[in-house]
Structure 1
């Protein structure tokens, strides 16, 4: 009997030990927040990209020799001991505001939240070395001890003349990758003296915060042109590009939020000016910003008018052959960059890539693992998206629909894929060319079969076209 009890006890210990190796995860963000509140533990939000699952979870016939050290027992125990975990994917709508605020752009992402949802640390990336994750946990626990964003905001609101506290608040947000600090930097410059704008580091600090391009902070930072010229000559190109991008992003986003067309034009002009003497790309940058604004605020008339001019002048005044040559060159350069940085480059052979494509589909694997598009993909995709946008807006203006049809045909000429034929079929239907729309949608279905992509949606749309029920 003692032997049986001892054996049972040993099995129980073994079972418990095995169970301890699993990462304990909450079923939802709401549940994680509730558990965090009751346990007084912070939250670790693990955000995976959609698409191909991580290698460790792939079926046997995929055979990728990559296993994340996040699954190591020591890492799991450290995480379980210190955090409430919610594991999800980037498309989860409950975390949309967190992704936006934390400026998450790389996946898998690890975002650490206090019980009140304040972000206090973040990291990203897979690794086979468990030291990465142990270090991540240690850094997060250290960051947890520092003043939170909410605490600093409370301090500042109690003493709005205290630039030291405001600077610490901005620095804390910047450290976490939060780039929308335009409102805060406007308040910060209000407490500075005129002479402060002759200091290189002060000017750099203001610009790094991403001031509105038509705001007071930006104007004051530009009062000393010598400093500005020096800054844009001496700072690393990555930092200069980052400054410009944040200024554009903060300005256009605020413009859309408040339907401020003057601010949107300021953002677009700033984007254009970043290209200096490259007038063609400058005009493209300007129009991309202003079109995004019109689309976001639903100013349909301005969108259609501006888009018509932009796509005709930028995409249609160059031959298809010239576009193919340009994008072939771009594709070769892009492929070389990806080969140099691709995380699976040492693990994936051609045979393994073929195996992946059989399991998950060629398109998904190519986009997720290799991330290089087809020749002429950029121009074709831009034109297709513009054409579809015109259809989606619902315009019945024959002039606009005719332009959309021409753009759609050019997209197909550059890259004849199923989705582009589908766009053209819808536009032809809207124009009243029902028979041609049917034939074009049938071509979309045939293309999809050749591409080995799903056809159900295309076939459903074909039925609607035939029934004149779109």
Structure 2
């Protein structure tokens, strides 16, 4: 009896131990605990940052700033130290970012020596982290700083793409913080210029030039023309899809955010252009129908909704949203009622 009780208690102890989080010196939990207990030594903070980075965990800007605060001024003249800091994607205008750029020469040296993929990764992290903070805090000045960062990143190799990226940042920020007054105005200029007054082929050529870090010129030089002729048709058609998705997303966004007056017609032009580039996506016709319905063009809206259902059936997709709206449209037309679309059922994309 005593032996059985002992075995049972031992089993409970083992289970409790196994259930505890890993608190060995190298575990993330151990780092969290030491940080919470006030460990702010230079070596510990660097190890903590490395641990987070190795696990693809986001490095909090406060942690990065605390680490920089423990460094000596001469440390920021060290290639490895500054490269390490840049690789964490410091937020623009943060303490870390400002201190790094006090020595512009070493930053330029790092960007010159690192492979292109590494430079892209650094910029990608900076952009992602800055975007998140700007949106979370509704900090329009930080958004402007990011748009300038994007502009300067592309200016040398592709001035047109620099303009596009600068505008894109502000359009996406204004949409996310629901500043509709500025968003509608800026978005019209951006989507018209980039997606209505351009083509997928021209955008692909521009991106090829940017990838090669060469200026984009029309007509293409002989080397670029030869490269263009060897681009598979499947890749070119990917840009048709990109254009269509972007235009559809803009059209749906305008309707969901309550666009009125001329802005509804902007969304109408965008969805028509989206279907021009991809006429096989049911969701585009559903959005088209919703826009027409918001203009009380119910017969035309019914026709587009029927097209959405036909395509979705053919592709074995769910049609329940489309059928509900079709029924509501028919009832409104029959009873001669003002139709109010349920814009919450619009998808941002066709995926």
Shorter chain as denominator, the TM-score bin is 0.7 to 0.9
1:382 aligns with 2:262: no
Relative to its length, the structure with more helix (as a share) is 2
2: CA distance, partners of 1:264 / 1:149: 32
Superposed displacement of residue 292, structure 1: 2.8
Give, in whole Å, the separation in 2 of the partners of 1:189 and 1:299.
Answer: 35
Q: Which has the higher strand share?
A: 1
Does the 8 Å CA contact 2:49/2:59 hold for their aligned counterparts?
A: no
- 2:285 is aligned, of 408, 417, 421, to 421
Matched, 1:206 2:70: no
Give the one of 178, 192, 212 matched to 1:298: 178
- Maintained 8 Å contact 1:284/1:314: yes
Give the Å deviation of 1:242. Answer: 0.8
Contact 1:181/1:209, CA 8 A, preserved across alignment: no
1:165 aligns with 2:28: no
Residue number in structure 2 paired with 1:313: 193
1:162-241, aligned counterparts within 5 Å?
A: 162-241=41-120
Change (3 A) 1:316 1:335: closer
Partner of 2:265: 402
Q: Which residue of 2 aligns with 1:15?
A: none
Residue in structure 2 matched with residue 432 of structure 1 by the alignment: 296
Query: How far apart are 1:234 and its partner, in Å?
Result: 1.0
- Distance of 2:200 and 2:142 partners within structure 1: 36
CA–CA separation in structure 2 for the residues paired with 1:211 and 1:298? 26
Q: In 1, are the aligned partners of 2:25 and 2:31 still within 8 Å (CA)?
A: no
2:161 aligns with 281
- The answer to whether the Cα contact below 8 Å between 1:323 and 1:379 also exists between their aligned partners in 2 is no
- Greater Cα shift, 253-262 or 403-412: 253-262
Q: What displacement does 1:260 show?
A: 1.4
C-alpha contact 1:448 1:454 (8 A) present in aligned 2: yes
How far is 1:385 from its partner? Answer: 0.9
Q: Give the one of 379, 392, 395 matched to 2:256.
A: 392
- The alignment's TM-score, normalised by the length of structure 2, stands at 0.75
Deviation at 1:152, TM superposition (A): 2.3
Cα offset for 1:380? Answer: 0.8
> 1:375 and 1:159, CA in 2 relative to 1: closer, same or farther beyond 3 A?
closer
Do 2:42 and 2:67's aligned partners in 1 also have CA atoms closer than 8 Å? Answer: yes
Q: Quote the offset at 1:383 in angstroms.
A: 0.2
Q: Could you tell me which residue of structure 2 aligns to residue 460 of structure 1?
A: 324
TM-score (norm 1): 0.57
Distance in 2 (alpha carbons) for counterparts of 1:420 and 1:334: 23
Aligned Cα RMSD in Å?
A: 3.1
Q: Per-residue CA shift, 1:54-75, capped at 9, x if unaligned?
A: xxxxxxxxxxxxxxxxxxxxxx
User: Structure 1, residues 396-446: CA drift from partner, whole Å, max 9, x if none?
Assistant: x21111000001111111111222111111111112222211122122223
Is the 8 Å Cα contact of residues 315 and 383 (structure 1) preserved in structure 2?
yes
Structure 2 distance, partners of 1:205, 1:225, is 16
Asked whether the equivalents of residues 388 and 404 of structure 1 are also in contact (C-alpha less than 8 Å), the reply is yes
Unaligned runs of 5+ in 1: 1-36, 43-113, 121-143, 337-371
Contact 1:180 1:250 in 2 (8 A): no
**Which consecutive residues of structure 2, in runs of 5 or more, have no partner in the other structure?**
1-13, 208-227, 332-338, 342-351
User: Aligned partners of 2:290, 2:271: CA distance in 1, in Å?
Assistant: 10
Give the CA deviation at 1:325.
9.4
Say whether the 8 Å CA contact 2:200–2:243 is kept in structure 1: no
Equivalent pairs counted in the alignment come to 299
CA gap 1:241/1:374 in 2 versus in 1, 3 angstroms: closer
Aligned counterpart, 2:216: none
Instruction: Give how far 1:267 is off.
Output: 2.2
Looking at structure 2, the residues matched to 422 and 180 of structure 1 have their Cα atoms a distance apart, in angstroms, of 41
Per-residue displacement from partner, 1:188-237 (whole Å, max 9, x unpaired)?
A: 11122222211111111111111111112112112222211211111122
